[in-house]
Every structure is written in C-alpha cells, then in structure tokens.
C-alpha cells in the first residue's frame, strides 16, 4: 500500500454512477490529515454521492477508494457525517443533548444505561461547539444555526478523523453561516480532523479552507481556490465559456448555475 | 391472595391483564408515535381481527391466529420499505382487506351458534372481564418477548426514528430494525386485541404515548410516563366500570374516554408549558 492510501481519503480513477448515468469519472485525489476542503459544484454533479461513496453507502463503478488506508464500509467510526437534510420531527420531544448522545451510542444494540461518563462526554462536546446554553432545550425550539452546532457535536463525539458536512450552511443567514464556518475552522485545527464541506457559496469559506474540490459535468478539479475557481479551469470543466469575476473581495462565477 | 385483594378471581384477572397490556402498549406506543406509525398500528389491530376470527373458525386459539396474521403482515410491511411512515395507501389497502376477511370469518363462524356470535363481539370489543389464567400466561409471554426485543434495540430504534439520515450513516441496519419493530408491534397489538378488543387497542397504543411526548421532551421520561398513564387509564377504567355508574357500563367506554381526555389535557399542557416536565 502506498503512503497516499493511508490518507483520510484517497481516490484513484474512480467512476460513480446512478441509475445507469455516469455522475463522475476519473476522480483522482488525496486529502491529507487535518485538511479543510470545500466541495463545490452544481446540483446533480455528485457532491452528495461522493460523500456516500466514502461512507460505503454507494459503490464505485470503477477505480479505487481508500479511507484511512481501508476500503469504505458502512458505519465506519473514523468518519463523522452530517447529512444534508436531517428530517428531525420537531413535534416530538428530544432535547439537544439527546441528539448529541446518538453520536456516541445511538447505533449500539443492547440495554444501555445512562452513566456519569456518558453525561460528561456529551457535556464536553456540547461545550466545545458552544451549545451549552441550550443543551437541555427541545430540538424543535432551536434555530438552524443552533441545530448545525448540535449536528457537529453529534459528529465529533465519536472522535472521527474525517468529517463530512453536506450543505451545513443551507438555510442559514450569513451571520449564522459565518459562525459555523469559524467553528469548523477552529475545530479542525484543535482536533486535527480532515473536513469535507459541501457548499454552494465559496466566499465565506475562502479565509478558512485549504483546497477546493469542484465537481461539474462528470469531471472534477481540486486545488487552491485561486487556481480552481478561475475562468480557465471552470470553462474546461463545464466545457463551455464560464467567467469568474472578483468584486469586493468575493468571487462570482458567471455563466453557470451553481 | 389476589382473590382476597379484588374480591373475585374475575376482577383479579381483569386488573392483571389490563395492567400488562397497559404497560406494553404504553412503551411500544411511544416508538409508534415517534415513528408516525399510528396508522400502521391501527392496521395491525384489524389484521389481528382477521387472524382471531380465522382461528375461531378453525377451532384454534385466537392468539395463535392473530400472531400468525400480524407477524406475516409485519414482514410484508418491512419488505415494502424502511418505514411505514407515509405509506397510507398500502396500509389502508391491507387494513380494509383484513377487515373484509375478518367479517367473512366472523360471518361463517357466528352462523353456527349463539355463543359463537358472542365471541365475535368479544374479539371486537375485548373480553377483559372474561379473561382466564391461560390468557394471562400467554399475554405475559408475548409482552415479555416484545419488551425483551425492544430493550435490545431501543437505542438504534430511537436514533433511526428521530434522525434517519444520521443513523444510516452510522451503520444502523434500518430495514432489519424496521421489521423487528413491526414484529414488536404485532405482538403488542395481538395482546391488546385479546384483552381490550380491536376497537380499543388504538386508544391504549396511541393516546398515552402521544400525551407523554406533549408532557416531556426527555425520551426516557416519556416512555415511563406513557406506560404509567396507559396502566392508570386501564385500571381506572376497570374501577369505574365496576363501581362507578349506577348501571354497569362497558370498561372499554371508560378506557377510551379516559385515553382521549388524557391526550386533550396534554395538548393544553404543551400549549402553556412547552413539554418541560
């Protein structure tokens, strides 16, 4: 096994498809320990499918996939995954800390009794994401940003080496989005955890991320934002003319729906 | 001892059986409400009806017939999908088909004699006043099995019910869990039908649990509260049926009324207190 295959993520010549349609092909890249990657691209480009590939929920049609030097498998404790839509039933009572506790032992069978150690573990991670103020509140009463913090806490409580966040910023206002991004940026340093964050808007992430993985039109490009989000790279990805405009310190991609 | 306490063997059995049903219905009901499968529970009672009447026709114990039919239905529903949530059309079909079968079996059976016609009524409305020690033993076995399985799967079940996407990512076997839970529901409804009848099972399975989640946001407390209320409703219903009115009224009427009232109170409580017990 090469050194690259020990990385949190290593893909070689991977093709993924859905219902007979090729979604992505020739995906080759590695993600290193503690790296913060933004995953960008239009709807249907395969962002969520890529995450499912790493989780072992989707199989590659071709190529090699390695997660910490092993084949992807369901329930991999090395990965923490926060899905895009948590269909939490807000009518029914669970508290913030119950949701976080699922990350610890929600998948375990057997009787299972509450213990002080369990309580302390939950308290500690809730503190870490800054959600201590509403640890006992019912989830139904919390805002989108507060729920995202709990989602992060649920993911982090099992100490994963790789965290996959599927559109954590959707439906958040700009202030809440910035808070979550700042939190993820701090946590990946303090915990040395690799993060792949799927998003539609790269701008608030620019000061925090190491690289961008851009998926479009069945192909992908990975690299520093200034080398990927360019007229040349995106035009060749999309296979038609795309322009990137910089204004007020932000990047705007013109000519495509993102 | 029980005989002394309650004054008669019949009453002792009624309280024992009622308490058992209340306990299990309250606990299983919490997960039913959480998974929005109240309608599936309703269907299971109708499937139990068909099973019980079919068994009577064949001269087999009605519990055996109910279990056979409802476990089969549990497997069927499980194969249909992860969750019965939102499967109103399929469940509605199965439900009405099962009721139709039940009506057929009952019609054939009750035609033979007057006592047979009475046992049809018992299946529909329960026979809590006429349950014997064999019924109690069978019910205890079913309840113990249902609660035992539930104790083993309760954490993944709770996770899968509240946060399905998160649970699937953590490797919770969603399909297997769904079938296991429906089997638990099948066992529970069978016992409910045996003791309180088809038409009243839903009031014990759904109302206390639905009320409990209005009273508290803590899962463990909600389960305990739901079980407590279900047992209290059953026992209070029995007490009222025996001693309450000038003229004896059916226990089922009191149980259904108390269940509905408890839920109504919980709605008011939620509105003003926000589920913080």
Residue A214's pLDDT is 92
DSSP 3-state assignment of A227? helix
Tell me phi and psi for residue A255, to 5 degrees.
Answer: 95, 0
Using a 10 angstrom Cβ sphere, with 0-12 exposed, 13-18 middle and 19 or more buried, the burial of residue B235 is middle
**Each residue's pLDDT expressed in tens, for chain B with a length of 277 residues:** 455 556 678 788 888 888 999 999 999 999 999 888 888 888 888 888 889 888 888 888 888 888 898 888 888 877 766 554 556 787 888 888 888 998 898 888 877 766 666 666 777 766 677 777 888 888 899 999 999 999 999 999 999 988 888 888 888 998 889 889 989 998 998 888 877 787 778 888 999 999 998 998 888 899 999 999 999 999 998 888 877 766 667 788 888 899 999 999 999 998 887 656 6
* Residue B43: C-alpha distances to residues B194, B198, B236 (Å): 16, 10, 27
d(Cα B85, Cα B77) in Å, to the nearest integer?
A: 11
pLDDT classification of A14: cutoffs 50, 70, 90: very high
Residue among A82, A106, A151 whose CB faces B155 most closely: A106
What is the spatial distance between Cα B106 and Cα B52, in angstroms, rounded to a whole number?
A: 9
Question: In angstroms, what separates the C-alpha of A194 from chain B's closest C-alpha?
Answer: 18
Calpha distance B85→B14 (Å, rounded): 34
In the numeric block, which tokens belong to residue A89? 């039933």
How far apart CA B196 and CA B126 sit, in angstroms, is 4
Domains of chain B by start residue, with CATH: 2-201 (1.10.3470.10)
| Chain A residues within an 8 Å CB radius of B33 | 92
pLDDT digit string (tens) for A92-146? 668 899 999 999 988 889 887 778 899 999 999 999 999 999 998 888 888 889 9
Minimal CA separation from A177 to chain B, in Å: 21
Tokens matching residue B117: 């016609």
What confidence tier does A39 reach under pLDDT thresholds 50, 70, 90? very high
In chain A, where does DSSP find H-type helix?
47-55, 96-105, 116-128, 144-156, 174-190, 225-228, 231-238
Adjacent-strand bridge partners of A213:
A39, A222
User: A94–B162: do the CB atoms touch at under 8 Å?
Assistant: yes
Residue of B nearest to A85 (CA): B165
Half-sphere exposure of B253 (CA within 13 A, CB side): 8
What pLDDT is stored for residue A167 in this prediction?
92
CA distance B254 to A124: 49
Which strands make up the sheet holding A79-82, listed edge to edge? A79-82, A162-166, A194-198, A36-40, A211-216, A219-223
**Helix/strand/coil for A13:** strand
**Alpha-carbon distance B178 to B159, whole Å?**
12
* Rounded Cα distance, B187 and B141, in Å: 10
**Predicted confidence (pLDDT) at residue A232 exceeds the cutoff of 70:** yes
To which residue do tokens 């599927």 refer?
Answer: A166
**ipTM of the complex, rounded to two decimals:** 0.83
- Mutating which of A83, A89, A93 best tests the B interface, going by the most B Cβ atoms within 10 A? A93
- A113 in reach of chain B (CB within 8 A): no
pLDDT band at A35 (very low <50, low <70, confident <90, very high): very high
Q: Which residues contact A72 (CB under 8 A, 6 or more apart)?
A: A53, A54, A55, A56, A65
């Amino acid at each position: 096994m090469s050194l690259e295959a020990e990385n949190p993520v290593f893909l070689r010549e991977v093709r993924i498809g859905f219902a007979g349609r090729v979604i992505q092909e020739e995906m080759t890249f590695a993600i290193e320990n503690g790296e913060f990657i933004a995953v960008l691209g239009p709807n249907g480009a395969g962002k969520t499918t890529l995450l499912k590939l790493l989780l072992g929920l989707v199989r590659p049609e071709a190529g090699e996939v390695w997660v910490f030097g092993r084949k992807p498998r369901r329930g991999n404790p090395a990965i923490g995954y926060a899905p895009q839509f948590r269909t939490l039933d807000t009518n029914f009572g669970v508290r913030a800390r119950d949701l976080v506790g699922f990350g610890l032992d929600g998948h375990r069978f057997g009787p299972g009794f509450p213990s002080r150690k369990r309580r302390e573990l939950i308290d500690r991670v809730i503190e870490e994401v800054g959600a201590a103020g509403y640890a006992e509140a019912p989830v139904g009463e919390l805002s989108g940003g507060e729920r995202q913090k709990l989602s992060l806490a649920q993911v982090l409580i099992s100490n994963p080496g790789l965290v996959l966040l599927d559109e954590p910023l959707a439906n958040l206002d700009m202030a809440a989005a910035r808070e979550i991004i700042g939190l993820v940026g701090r946590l990946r340093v303090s915990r040395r955890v690799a993060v792949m964050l799927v998003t539609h808007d790269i701008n608030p992430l620019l000061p925090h991320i190491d690289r961008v993985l851009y998926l479009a039109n069945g192909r992908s490009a990975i690299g520093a934002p200034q080398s990927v989000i360019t007229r040349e790279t995106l035009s060749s990805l999309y296979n038609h003319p795309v322009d990137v405009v910089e204004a007020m310190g932000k990047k705007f991609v013109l000519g495509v729906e993102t | 001892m029980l005989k002394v306490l309650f004054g008669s063997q019949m009453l002792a059995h009624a309280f024992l059986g009622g308490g058992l049903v209340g306990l299990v219905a309250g606990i299983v009901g919490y997960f039913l409400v959480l998974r929005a499968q109240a309608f599936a529970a309703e269907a299971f009672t109708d499937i139990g009806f068909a099973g019980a009447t079919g068994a009577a026709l064949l001269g087999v114990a009605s519990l055996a017939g109910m279990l056979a039919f409802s476990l089969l239905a549990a497997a069927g529903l499980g194969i249909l999908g992860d969750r019965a949530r939102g499967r109103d059309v399929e469940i509605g079909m199965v439900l009405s088909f099962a009721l139709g079968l039940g009506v057929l079996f009952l019609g054939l059976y009750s035609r033979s004699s007057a006592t047979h016609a009475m046992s049809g009524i018992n299946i529909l409305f329960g026979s809590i006043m006429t349950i014997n020690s064999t019924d109690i033993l069978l019910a205890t076995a079913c309840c113990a099995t249902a609660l035992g399985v539930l104790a083993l799967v309760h954490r993944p079940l709770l996770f899968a019910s509240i946060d399905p996407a998160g649970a699937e990512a953590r490797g919770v076997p969603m399909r297997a869990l769904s079938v296991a839970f429906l089997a638990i529901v099948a066992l529970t409804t069978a016992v409910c039908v045996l003791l309180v009848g088809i038409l009243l099972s839903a009031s014990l399975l759904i109302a206390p649990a639905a009320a409990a989640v209005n009273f508290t946001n803590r899962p463990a407390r909600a389960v305990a509260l739901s079980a407590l209320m279900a047992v209290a409703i059953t026992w209070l219903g029995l007490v009222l049926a025996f001693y309450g009115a000038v003229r004896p009224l059916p226990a089922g009427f009191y149980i259904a009324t108390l269940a509905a009232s408890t839920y109504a109170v919980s709605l008011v409580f939620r509105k003003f207190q926000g589920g913080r017990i």
